[in-house]
Amino acid sequence: MHLLNPLNPALFTAQPQLAAALAPFAHQQDDLLVGGKTPAQIAALLDAEVFYAYDRAAITARVQALRAALPARVKLHYAVKANPYFPVVHWLASQVDGMDVASRRELVLALQSGVDPTQISFAGPGKTDAELKAAIAAGCVVHLESAGEMRRLQALCLQADASARVALRINPEFELRASGMKMAGGAKAFGIDQAQIWDLLPELQTGPLQLVGFHLYCGSQNLQADAILQSQRQSLQLLAQLRPHCPQLQFFNLGGGFGVPYFPADKVLDLAAVGAGMQQLFAEFADAVAGLEIILELGRYLVAHAGVYFSRVIDVKTSHEQQFVVTNGGLHHHLANSGNFGQVVRRNYPVVLANKLTLAPVAPVQVVGPLCTPLDILADKVALPAAVPGDWFAVLQSGAYGASASPQGFLSHGVVSEILL
Ligand SMILES: *Cc1c(COP(=O)(O)O)cnc(C)c1O
């Protein structure tokens, strides 16, 4: 049975984003199921009591929803940074059209996942010579982030008697409105300023590098279709200016930035509106995009909803009338949930007691982890059913920027287990 129909209206009223977060999952009586398994079954599979579980069907459904909503010509790339757990990367290789990597190890993961190497793009400022050599060896596209990087890659290609397909990552004059993390516009470490692009074009169209694409990445975690479309419009205007000067162009990477609803006030991104808007933009900029692959690179939007971070309740206690639920999971595994991964104000992720889904919430509790720091908060004054030691506490929307984005060595509690089901 599916959780789309709220099991527990009181709980859903207290946390409106919870309904969206639970929608991908089924349940069996009071147990939340990930890939058809209860928390206890997953714990038995992993021999662990703290773990991330990812739901394969939820990832697949998300890719299908994107394909249904977006114009057919749009190619989907997965940004490995969001979740580099190899079974997830490997599964996505069969679902998407390419991958974006930002380190040599991510490149090797993508290659091993079976994705076509020519559909891997390697971005990121500060690529070392070793990383550029790896990119040449892989035969992937290098997204150049500076003139200096371009010259180093040229020299390495000449040394190796090789050539490389490259794209220029442009730092445009505009910014992405309403974005959780802005990565373009103004002085930025990413990409090459729009004004500097023209000088590089002649140098790029001779020698061992082949300019096959442009890349604009304006920002992450955007929940507003109109803001995303506005930055795409500005990106396409720029493409229209550049296109006549770049005869070998094969693709235009429009970035992504599609956000997911983590917090109570967050709205779900209107994917249908994004799709319809993109269709219109492609008609309007028909000459600029003619014959080009149009790529969207998405990280969290493909995986965040599919992941749940489970931990076990170790203790329940009261301090000055506030009830504390202490679990064996914390910010060392899930930094973003603690509010310390780029957020300005800490807000609660959607959370449940994964073995008490249908029980009514009692007075708000403070859920904390085992670390000796007041930062180790899993949920701040959240309505949960009465908790006892042994219960399973679950943080939803946890499939991106979880294990790999957390300080797992901090306080030496050990690393977290992961599983794709
Ligand atoms: C981080 C990043 C992404 C993925 O961002 P999400 O918010 O997870 O979608 C994609 N492209 C680039 C260049 C990035 O730096």
349-370 residue pLDDT tens: 999 999 999 999 998 999 999 9
Please compute the mean of the pLDDT values over residues 35-46 and round it to a whole number: 98
Alpha carbons 275 and 280: distance in angstroms, whole number: 9
Query: What pLDDT, in 10s, does the model give residues 118-137?
Result: 999 999 999 999 999 999 99
pLDDT at 173: 87
Superfamily of domain 2-55+305-420: Lyase, Ornithine Decarboxylase; Chain A, domain 1 (2.40.37.10)
Ligand 1 near 266 CB (within 6 A): no
Ligand 1 near 35 CB (within 6 A): no
pTM: 0.95
Please compute the mean of the pLDDT values over residues 266-275 and round it to a whole number: 96
pLDDT at 183: 73
Q: Residue 14 — pLDDT band, cuts 50, 70, 90?
A: low
Q: Residue 175 — pLDDT band, cuts 50, 70, 90?
A: confident
pLDDT at 1: 46
Q: Residue 185 — pLDDT band, cuts 50, 70, 90?
A: confident
Name the residue with higher pLDDT: 52 or 9: 52
Alpha carbons 400 and 84: distance in angstroms, whole number: 9
**Looking at the predicted structure, is the pLDDT value of residue 389 above 50?**
yes
Beta carbons within 10 angstroms of residue 164's beta carbon: 23
Query: What pLDDT, in 10s, does the model give residues 84-119?
Result: 999 999 999 999 999 999 999 999 999 999 999 999
Kindly report which listed range (60-64, 206-210, 227-231) carries the lowest average pLDDT score: 206-210
Beta carbons within 10 angstroms of residue 94's beta carbon: 11
User: Which architecture does CATH list for 84-298?
Assistant: Alpha-Beta Barrel (3.20)
Ligand 1 near 150 CB (within 6 A): no
* Ranges of each domain in the chain: 2-55+305-420, 84-298
**Looking at the predicted structure, is the pLDDT value of residue 46 above 90?**
yes
Ligand 1 near 123 CB (within 6 A): yes
Q: For residue 82, give the ligand 1 atom closest to its CA.
A: 8
Q: Residue 5 — pLDDT band, cuts 50, 70, 90?
A: very low
pLDDT at 205: 79
Query: What pLDDT, in 10s, does the model give residues 218-258?
Result: 889 999 999 999 999 999 999 999 999 998 999 999 999 99
pLDDT at 12: 62
Distance 402 CA to ligand 1 centre (A): 14
Mean pLDDT score of the chain: 94
DSSP 306: G
Q: For residue 300, give the ligand 1 atom closest to its CA.
A: 8
Alpha carbons 161 and 159: distance in angstroms, whole number: 6
pLDDT at 276: 98
Q: Write b or e for each residue in 45-71: b if 16 or more Cβ atoms lie within 10 A of its Cβ, otherwise e.
A: ebebbbbbbbbbebbeebbeebeebbb
**Looking at the predicted structure, is the pLDDT value of residue 192 above 70?**
yes
Ligand 1 near 385 CB (within 6 A): no
CA 368 to chain centre: 25
Q: Residue 13 — pLDDT band, cuts 50, 70, 90?
A: low
Q: Residue with the nearest Cα to atom 6 of ligand 1?
A: 299
Q: Residue 421 — pLDDT band, cuts 50, 70, 90?
A: very high
Alpha carbons 251 and 279: distance in angstroms, whole number: 17
Q: Residue 4 — pLDDT band, cuts 50, 70, 90?
A: very low
